[in-house]
């Protein structure tokens, strides 16, 4: 059939395109190893552990591997077992602390290669064993801004004033600060082995996310964490306690209350009170990513495609409301920005107003004495 003559037809649809946010998202780690710097991708923590154990280049000798990759991947597999994509940027160990730190910063920067090499981006990132370091924190924040990802960062603070002093030097909606490392009890040495809280929280997040469709929106504050001890525990009881000193500066702590629990109302250290809520930051980031991914084919289509876009966004919003992620929302064309000049240029702007579903942060029970139930005593005596 000639393509330039005759009557031809095709099919199209103005039905909404399904937009969905994933719940099992990649974790990006910077770890130390006795090997040349390189980026790796694995389908699961188990496969990462198996690969590195089988690579002879990672072994100094038969007894030791060097670095911390084995320590953290073992912890992941033993304490937070889950199947989640794993992105690792390996930094080379060095006897000189300055050179090794430089290698770690280089490995953080090299995380930008993840998308180019593997076609995916990390959702949560972490750097092991470099607490309270301004340069490490700054480099990590650059990566999070690049990927729209998020981190917990261990500041290894023994008291509230020390924690607050470091917190004042940073403000980021993509960094959550944690005051203390966590430990597991080694039955051989009969002592605690300490782990970077930023990595542990990343593993805890991944483990929680793997449980249900919208787990990423669940706050992991107050969720028992599978660790044995806290390096710097804070005094906690219902009411005024040491955690308030940290809360005032948006710093997570760990408490002992029916097990070890992260305690922080999902803080980030943003200067903007709206974006101090890490779940809200993550909701917006994932929503934007999902919209971009699912609606990219709507670019360079005719005007009727805007109907599909509007219906798709509305269906997406309604789905989030139905799942209890949003309390409510509205999609509308931004009239102020979508001027005649912008329309001629093919530029259309939408506003997605939303309110996420609030989580109970404080429950107050008032005990009020009253005489109005005295009749119960009469009834008891009459039936005796």
* Alpha carbon distance 153, 278 (integer Å): 13
What is residue 62's predicted lDDT score, i.e. its pLDDT?
45
Q: 124 or 188: which carries more pLDDT confidence?
A: 124
Q: Tell me: the pLDDT tens digits for 227-242?
A: 999 999 988 876 667 7
Q: 23 or 207: which carries more pLDDT confidence?
A: 207
* Alpha carbon distance 211, 221 (integer Å): 16
* Alpha carbon distance 35, 18 (integer Å): 44
Q: 311 or 211: which carries more pLDDT confidence?
A: 311
Q: Is the pLDDT of residue 57 over 70?
A: no
Which of 16-30, 131-145, 204-218 bottoms out in mean pLDDT, i.e. has the lowest?
Answer: 204-218
- Cα three-residue angle 17-23-27, rounded to 5 degrees: 125
Mean pLDDT over 81-104 rounds to 94
Q: Is the pLDDT of residue 23 over 70?
A: no
Is the pTM here over 0.95, yes or no? no
User: What percent of the chain shows pLDDT beyond 90?
Assistant: 60
Long-range CB contacts (within 8 A, 24+) of 163-171:
163/246, 163/249, 163/251, 164/245, 164/246, 164/248, 164/249, 164/251, 166/132, 167/249, 167/250, 167/251, 167/269, 168/249, 169/134, 170/134, 170/137, 170/141, 170/269, 171/269, 171/270, 171/271
Which of 204-213, 260-269, 340-349 bottoms out in mean pLDDT, i.e. has the lowest?
Answer: 204-213
Q: Is the pLDDT of residue 150 over 70?
A: yes
Mean pLDDT over 92-98 rounds to 93
Q: Is the pLDDT of residue 336 over 70?
A: yes
Q: Which CATH architecture has domain 27-280?
A: 3-Layer(aba) Sandwich (3.40)
Name 331's bridge partners.
352
Residues in the chain: 384
Q: Is the pLDDT of residue 194 over 60?
A: yes
Cβ atoms of 31 and 91 closer than 8 Å: yes
In the chain, where the domains are located? 27-280, 305-384
- Mean pLDDT value across the chain: 88
DSSP H helices in 305-362: 305-322, 340-345
Q: 77 or 243: which carries more pLDDT confidence?
A: 77
Mean pLDDT over 83-93 rounds to 94
Q: Tell me: the pLDDT tens digits for 282-301?
A: 889 889 888 988 888 888 98
């Amino acid at each position: 059939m000639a393509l330039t003559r005759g009557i031809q037809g095709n099919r199209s649809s103005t039905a909404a395109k399904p937009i969905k946010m994933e719940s099992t998202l990649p974790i990006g780690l910077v770890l130390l190893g006795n090997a040349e710097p390189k980026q790796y991708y694995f389908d699961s923590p188990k496969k990462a552990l198996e690969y590195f154990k089988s690579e002879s280049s990672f072994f100094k000798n038969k007894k030791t591997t060097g670095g911390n990759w084995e320590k953290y991947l073992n912890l992941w597999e033993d304490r937070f077992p889950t199947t989640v994509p794993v992105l690792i940027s390996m930094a080379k160990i060095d006897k000189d602390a300055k050179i090794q730190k430089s290698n770690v910063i280089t490995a953080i920067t090299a995380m930008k290669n993840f998308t180019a090499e593997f076609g995916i981006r990390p959702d949560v990132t972490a750097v092991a064993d470099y607490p309270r370091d301004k340069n490490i924190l700054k480099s990590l924040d650059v990566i999070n801004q690049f990927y729209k990802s998020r981190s917990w960062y261990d500041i290894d603070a023994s008291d509230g004033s020390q924690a607050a002093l470091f917190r004042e030097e940073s403000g980021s909606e993509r960094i959550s600060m944690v005051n203390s490392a966590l430990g597991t009890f080694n039955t051989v040495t009969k002592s605690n082995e300490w782990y970077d809280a930023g990595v542990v929280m990343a593993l805890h997040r991944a483990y929680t996310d793997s449980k249900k469709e919208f787990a990423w929106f669940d706050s992991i504050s107050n969720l028992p964490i599978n660790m044995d001890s806290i390096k710097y525990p804070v005094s906690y009881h219902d009411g005024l306690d040491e955690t308030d000193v940290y809360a005032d500066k948006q710093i997570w702590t760990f408490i002992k209350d029916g097990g070890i629990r992260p305690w922080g109302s999902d803080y980030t250290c943003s200067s903007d009170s709206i974006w101090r809520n890490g779940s809200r930051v993550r909701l917006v980031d994932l929503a934007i990513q999902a919209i971009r991914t699912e609606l990219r084919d709507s670019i360079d289509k005719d005007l009727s495609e805007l109907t599909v876009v509007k219906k798709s966004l509305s269906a997406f919003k309604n789905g989030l409301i139905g799942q209890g992620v949003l309390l409510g929302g509205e999609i509308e064309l931004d009239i102020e920005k979508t001027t005649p000049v912008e329309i001629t240029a093919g530029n259309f702007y939408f506003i997605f107003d939303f309110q996420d579903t609030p989580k109970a942060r404080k429950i107050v029970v008032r005990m009020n004495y009253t005489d109005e139930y005295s009749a119960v005593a009469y009834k008891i005596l009459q039936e005796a």
